[in-house]
Chain A
Amino acid sequence: MSMLEIKNISKSFGKFEVLKDISFSVEKGQAVSVIGPSGSGKSTLLRIVNQLEKADGGSVSICGTPMITVDENGKSVYADPKTLREARLKIGLVFQNFNLFPHFSVLRNITEAPVCVLGMDKKEAEQKAMELLEKMGLAAKANEYPCNLSGGQQQRVSIARALALNPAMLFFDEPTSALDPELTGEILKVIRGLADEQMTMVIVTHEMAFAREVSDRVIFMDKGVIIENGTPEEVFEKSENERTRQFLQRYNNS
């Protein structure tokens, strides 16, 4: 059973087709990077899986549970709100802009969902949150507010927040794009650590060297279409595709 199965997803904003017939799957323990130029639909794809955005067509299933299916008339059928909430708990989502809750302390940012959503005991949730903060090297910041943290620290808190719900997989939506270059390293280190622990991950990123090093599979998207879907070696070194080579060349030169 695939952790994530996406079939024939399409999406338009007005007349602009962002995604055209996208299909791929992610297996347990895999780290999959999605690369491609800005506006190629990478982030939209992640948002559709989480249903922060509605797809125009196609199907999605998470850990075997159908989230979007297609009926015999070709219309999309969405899972009910309860199934959706349960499925979302299986996916930890890390945003480009962190989206921490500014009115909660770092600790409460992490414990709020386990306590309110899973009904976990508060003490237990706090203990777990402290373990996660320890792992992120931020135990000393537990009682700070997000506004007093650097971007890199905020992003690490948001990763801890996502992990606190014990998700089956993690989605990263350009986790380092809002950070200074010198702060991206600390985030990449955390993701690398998670990959070593066999965490199932989908990482939308512009960090080519990182994608190549950490991923089991790399997907290259352009203009809403998957152009490559293979091992890092296949995509970065052996690709015959003109568009892929062009894109990678521009990155190598910069």
Chain B
Amino acid sequence: MTTEEILSVTGILLDYLIPTLKVFGFTLLFSIPMGMIAAMLKMCRFKPISWLTNVYILIMRGTPLMLQVIAVYYIIPYLKLAEGLPAPLASVLAGIDIRSENYMFYAVIAAFSLNYAAYFAEIFRGGIESIPKGQYEAAAALGFTPVQTFFRIILPQVIKRIVPASSNEVITLVKDTSIANVVAYAEITLKARQQMQVYSSLTPLIIAGVFYFVLATVLTFLFSLIEKKLSYYR
């Protein structure tokens, strides 16, 4: 490929950086709070809830993300075909336009968020359970309410402990966004494959690789800054 062609391909891929970052950003936005809720539910003393949450986490972590994206994407079209559904559900389904650009995006975000929430849930749970019992006891003896204890004493310590594990997840997510191309969501990897065929060259793939590499490196750097910032105590 000539320099000009390389620049042109780079420009095209750069345009599709936005859809890639959208999947990344929205997945984080939803999966982190969802993960926190799932962690709480798993630690719930009412066993059936804890057990159900565990089943959800097992399925999400035990099956490929790609499979999950495909399943979430096609579940609505298949439900639309089904007969004898209750009327309210059928009318909701009828309102969903599966041919719209947005539908694809929503399906991808839903699948990614459900999957990543399961991983975050386990990270949060591990973090919360690693805080010594003495911290809760000291807080109780000083008259803190359970809510104050969680937000002022426990959570700040949990955040410090989960930064390294979370940074792993976040960096993996950047690369996992490429899985969205399995339902033809137009992002960097999908475009790179198209360009690869246009030019009969691997170079577009390499350029895409550089994109991911730069993103992951920037994130790695950011997380090491956060870790440093939190290292004022042990």
Q: Using a CB–CB distance below 8 Å, which chain A residues touch chain B?
A: 50, 52, 85-86, 88-89, 91-93, 95, 97, 99-103, 112-113, 116-118, 145-147, 158, 161-162, 165
Q: Does B234 contact A (CB under 8 A)?
A: yes
A101 to B140, CA, bound (A): 13
Shortest C-beta distance, B130 to chain A (Å), equals 13
- The residues of A that contact B135 with a CB separation of less than 8 Å are 99, 101
Q: Does B64 contact A (CB under 8 A)?
A: no
Other-chain residue from A52, A89, A97, A102 in contact with B143 (beta carbon distance below 8 A): A89
A161 touches B142 (CB 8 A): yes
The residues in B between 164 and 195 inclusive whose CB is less than 8 angstroms from any CB of A are none
Q: Does B47 contact A (CB under 8 A)?
A: no
B234 touches A99 (CB 8 A): no
B137 touches A95 (CB 8 A): yes
With known contacts A97-B134, A99-B135, A103-B157, A88–B141 Cβ distance under 8 A: yes
Closest 3 CB pairs of A and B: A99-B138, A99-B134, A93-B141
A240 to B156, CA, bound (A): 54
Other-chain residue from A52, A117, A146 in contact with B142 (beta carbon distance below 8 A): A117
B233 touches A116 (CB 8 A): no
The residues in B between 126 and 156 inclusive whose CB is less than 8 angstroms from any CB of A are 132, 134-135, 137-138, 140-145, 148, 152-153, 156
Other-chain residue from B132, B142, B157 in contact with A113 (beta carbon distance below 8 A): B142
With known contacts A101-B135, A103-B156, A116-B152, A145–B232 Cβ distance under 8 A: yes
- The residues of A that contact B152 with a CB separation of less than 8 Å are 112, 116
B143 touches A117 (CB 8 A): yes
B134 touches A101 (CB 8 A): no
With known contacts A102-B157, A103-B233, A145-B232, A88–B143 Cβ distance under 8 A: yes
Q: Does B160 contact A (CB under 8 A)?
A: yes
| Minimal Cβ-Cβ distance residue in A for B132 | A99
Shortest C-beta distance, B106 to chain A (Å), equals 39
With known contacts A97-B134, A99-B135, A88–B140 Cβ distance under 8 A: yes
A146 touches B134 (CB 8 A): no
- The residues of A that contact B148 with a CB separation of less than 8 Å are 116-117
Shortest C-beta distance, B151 to chain A (Å), equals 10
- The residues of A that contact B153 with a CB separation of less than 8 Å are 101
- The residues of A that contact B232 with a CB separation of less than 8 Å are 145
Most buried by A among B143, B152, B160, B233: B143
> How does the 8 Å CB contact mask read for B53-81 relative to A, with 1 for contact and 0 for none?
00000000000000000000000000000
A240 to B234, CA, bound (A): 51
- The residues of B that contact A102 with a CB separation of less than 8 Å are 157, 233-234
A27 to B152, CA, bound (A): 35
- The residues of B that contact A162 with a CB separation of less than 8 Å are 141-142
A50 touches B141 (CB 8 A): yes
Most buried by A among B137, B145, B160, B234: B137
| Minimal Cβ-Cβ distance residue in A for B148 | A116
Given contacts A112-B142, A147-B234, A165-B143, 5 further A-B contacts (CB under 8 A): A52-B141, A101-B138, A113-B143, A117-B144, A145-B234
Q: List 28 interface pairs A-B (beta carbons < 8 Å), by A numbering.
A: A50-B140, A52-B137, A85-B143, A88-B140, A88-B143, A92-B141, A95-B137, A95-B138, A99-B135, A100-B138, A101-B135, A101-B138, A102-B157, A103-B160, A103-B233, A112-B142, A116-B144, A116-B148, A117-B143, A117-B144, A145-B232, A145-B233, A146-B233, A147-B234, A158-B138, A162-B141, A162-B142, A165-B142
Other-chain residue from A91, A112, A116, A118 in contact with B141 (beta carbon distance below 8 A): A91
Shortest C-beta distance, A168 to chain B (Å), equals 13
Shortest C-beta distance, B122 to chain A (Å), equals 23
A95 to B135, CA, bound (A): 11
| Minimal Cβ-Cβ distance residue in A for B141 | A93
